[in-house]
Amino acid sequence: MLPVIFDEEYLLKYAKEQKIQPFRVKQIFYELFKNQNIDWDSMTTLSKDMRQDFSDNFNIINLSLDKKLEDEQTTKFSFKTFDWYFIEAVLMYHRSKHTKWKLNRITLCLSSQVGCPMWCAFCVTAKMWLKRNLTRQEIISQVLYVNNYIKNKFWKKEDGTLRAVRNVVFMWMWEPLLNYDNLKKTIEILLQRERFSLSKRHITISTVWVIAGIKKLIQDKIDVWLAVSLHAPTQSLRETIVPNAKVHKMSELIKVLDNYIKTTNNRIFYEYIMIKWVTDGDDNAKNLVKLLKWQFCHVNLIPYNENPLVDFQETSTKEIQNFKKILEDGGLTVTIRDSMGREVKSACWQLGYDSINKL
């Protein structure tokens, strides 16, 4: 398989061997990351012969699109890897009601693994099992492809700059902290001014809670946002829906997260799934207050996104509102997340539905 053109080590080595001037390498990176081009014909700053030469020796990205599903709020991309696995990434379009629902920002939830090893009882992706980690090239390829799609779909903002992904969430397919080295390198490239130039406040790592990985984030001073999939207020309940909790105890997690807050001065975002008769109810809400009352955190209540492959039901809106009130009365800051992309199975815990449903 050919190396990807944005792999700087390979490209610089090739440029040196072929006596290609350094400014040409900068042109390529500009075409990729700033002009958001992912085909050689669009890179008109390069000569035709040079484009052909690079085309013969490099891939631009190392994923191919299998299919795309859209609704008004989201676009779900199914990508095929070189070894015929399938991964998914989801674009979410955030619109401002104060400006007649004009497009405000765009968030990309991307994959860092093929499948998932966490086996959460409510998640479709868990049914795929873990096939392998994605390389950093495969993770970055998702962003490059999607930015090109955004460019073609929305073109430029009012200030004349191209629209692009504003927020990146390492959330789908699934546990990024078990692919730590590739996660770390990807974040470095996302932050580089001459690459994607994202703010660290626009990058979120979502984790089921791999304690060793969180400790590495502290050690490496990676202080992007951290979202922890808590989903239950007690150890015993969490073990019934998140088997990984048997290994990573809640008491150990809270301790390491306190250290993360102290080191980064960032609040922790807790994701809490609302499953009817399982995680909802007054007692669970009160226990959640006891667990988090003294921590610098924010709780996101997420209505369960039902699907035919998992036998759980969504908590009613009235019950979610009551759960929220108990948390707020207990001193916690809380939001109820909008469920985007349900129709095309791109909402939380639905990714991988199409692949599983074929079996």
Q: Is residue 40 part of a domain?
A: yes
Q: Is residue 33 part of a domain?
A: yes
Q: Is residue 23 part of a domain?
A: yes
According to DSSP, the β-strands at 102-111 and 86-96 are antiparallel
The catalytically annotated residue of 31, 88, 306, 314 is 88
What does the pLDDT profile of the chain (359 residues) look like in tens digits? Answer: 899 999 999 999 999 999 999 999 999 999 999 999 999 999 999 999 999 999 999 999 999 999 999 988 899 999 999 999 999 999 999 887 766 678 989 999 999 999 888 888 888 877 778 999 999 999 999 999 999 999 999 989 888 899 999 999 998 788 999 999 999 999 999 999 999 999 999 999 999 888 999 999 999 999 999 999 999 999 999 999 998 888 878 989 999 999 999 999 999 999 999 999 999 999 999 999 999 999 999 999 999 988 777 789 999 999 999 999 999 999 999 999 886 544 554 445 444 445 544 44
Residue 69 sits in a domain whose CATH number is 3.20.20.70
Q: Are residues 100 and 30 part of one domain?
A: no
Q: Are residues 164 and 32 part of one domain?
A: no
Q: How many domains does the chain have?
A: 2
Q: Are residues 102 and 49 part of one domain?
A: no
Domain C-terminal end among 36, 57, 78: 57
Q: Are residues 87 and 13 part of one domain?
A: no
Domain C-terminal end among 16, 32, 57: 57
Q: Are residues 89 and 18 part of one domain?
A: no
Q: Are residues 69 and 51 part of one domain?
A: no
Q: Is residue 2 part of a domain?
A: no
Q: Are residues 170 and 95 part of one domain?
A: yes
Q: Which domain holds residue 41?
A: 8-57
For residues 232 and 225, what is the distance between their CA atoms, to the nearest angstrom? Answer: 21
Q: Are residues 39 and 172 part of one domain?
A: no
Q: Are residues 185 and 269 part of one domain?
A: yes
Whole-model pTM: value is 0.92
Q: Are residues 260 and 139 part of one domain?
A: yes
Contact indicator for 134, 112 with CB cutoff of 8 Å:
yes
Residue 46 sits in a domain whose CATH number is 1.10.150
Q: Are residues 38 and 176 part of one domain?
A: no
Crossing angle of helices 250-264/211-219, nearest 10°? 20
The catalytically annotated residue of 109, 123, 297, 348 is 348
Would you call 297 a catalytic residue per the annotation? no
Contact indicator for 164, 147 with CB cutoff of 8 Å:
yes
Q: Is residue 200 part of a domain?
A: yes
Q: Are residues 200 and 111 part of one domain?
A: yes
Q: Is residue 1 part of a domain?
A: no
Q: Is residue 312 part of a domain?
A: yes
Give the closest residue to 224 by CA, choosing from 260, 256, 259, 196. Answer: 260
Cβ-Cβ contacts under 8 Å for 106 (sequence gap 6 or more): 91, 92, 93, 94, 150, 163, 164, 165, 166, 167
Would you call 88 a catalytic residue per the annotation? yes
Q: Is residue 3 part of a domain?
A: no
Q: Give the start-end residues of each E strand in the chain.
A: 64-70, 74-80, 86-96, 102-111, 113-114, 132-133, 167-172, 203-207, 225-229, 268-274, 297-303, 334-336
